[in-house]
Amino acid sequence: MVSPAAEPGTRASLAPMAEQDLDQSDADRILALARHDRTAAREAVARLDLEAQVALVCEIPVSRRAEVLDLLPAPEAVIPALPEAELCFTAKAIGLAEAGPLLEHATAGQLKACIDLDAWRTHEPDRETLAAWLDACVEAGGETVMKAVEALDAELLVLLLKDRAEVILKPDEDDWQPPAGAQTLEGQFYLIAKRGTEDLETILYMLQTLFERDYWHYFRLMQGVIWEIESNCEESALRWRTNRLQDLGFPTWEEAMAIYGLLREDERTRLAAETSALDVAPFRLPVWLPELPAATDADHAVFRAAAELSAEERRAFLYAFVALANKVAVADRMPLGDAESTPAAIEKAASVASAGLLHLAEHHGLPLVEVLRRAPLDRLFRVGAALDLAVRPRVGSQA
């Protein structure tokens, strides 16, 4: 997973997703080959093992991933192996309206993560984006719709239906007539579009699929739209989403903001006596992390210091750094479902932590690598942020 310790001036790979990254020239060669001989390109991809095919998809720009997906001999094997966020980035790059064939092979867990990452704005679900993801699942067919419905929190589906339609339960009255324009699947629950009948097309397909395959789920959902209080649904959905994002390595906003906690001047130079800062356990990553430039000539001091760590220490450093970058993304409320957020969070984490590392190393007269072993990356970031008060969270559109 992590290459041996680097010699001075050499690069040490920190990429955690595979033992060996796909050579970028191989990816370029395959894409170039596809332009004039798609059969040969498909054969070249087929010769790669599953891990290398996943790398091929993840290591090229999202704007070109559709080209690679079209070359896969067995997309049903590769797509479920994509990290959750990479599936989200890929679907958005293709365009959700065209992403049905991709989502057809996604797992329920991947679909749930895509919604968690992309269909929220700050602490509220984005109903329009949620509807767009559901539209994409409908394009993929009934099996994908059921997979999405079973994966999503009932509260989110209730909120989406409440946004799109009013649901009326037929009363026990012989002379009762449904309101004009009301639609029903089974003569018991009636839907009245709030915005226009076209808004109900996806909803009706989803409800029809659910009615045919899981009636009691359908029944509970329709009852929920009638009786559930919207604010309660939002609160419950946010709680479930927060817990799942923590499983993916994203802390709560309050926890993430601790990296911006102000330090008094005398606290900015405190340094632990023991080298325990890199006692970090690995965790599952939802992204395919780009290779971090651990080299003695790297731009950022944290990566120059990381180049001098042992292989085991570099492994721990990588996970500690990813955890820090995740905190930056959450604290700055970067859109977690956007591919651009990952490199932006990595760059800010590296830049600010490097400022803190250089400050402590100069104050104590220690090598950078020694400070890296003794000061957690979160503390290095806090020191760097305290030195430059301009480095405050940039508030984006999503947390």
**pLDDT per residue over 122-168, tens digit each?**
889 999 999 999 999 999 998 999 999 988 899 999 999 999 999 99
| pLDDT for position 398 | 55
C-alpha 256: how far from its chain's center?
A: 16
Helix (H, G, I), strand (E, B) or coil at 294: strand
**pLDDT per residue over 314-331, tens digit each?**
989 999 999 999 999 999
C-alpha 283: how far from its chain's center?
A: 15
**pLDDT per residue over 339-366, tens digit each?**
999 999 999 999 999 999 999 999 999 9
Question: What's the whole-number average pLDDT of the chain?
Answer: 88
Q: Which two tokens stand for residue 54?
A: 């996943």
State residue 178 phi and psi, 5-degree precision: -65, 150
| pLDDT for position 75 | 95
Res. 27 pLDDT band, cuts 50 70 90: confident
Res. 212 pLDDT band, cuts 50 70 90: very high
- Cα Rg of the chain (Å, integer): 25
Which residue, among 242, 241, 82, has the nearest Cα to 152 in the 3D structure?
A: 241
Helix (H, G, I), strand (E, B) or coil at 320: helix
| pLDDT for position 86 | 96
| pLDDT for position 11 | 37
Res. 395 pLDDT band, cuts 50 70 90: low
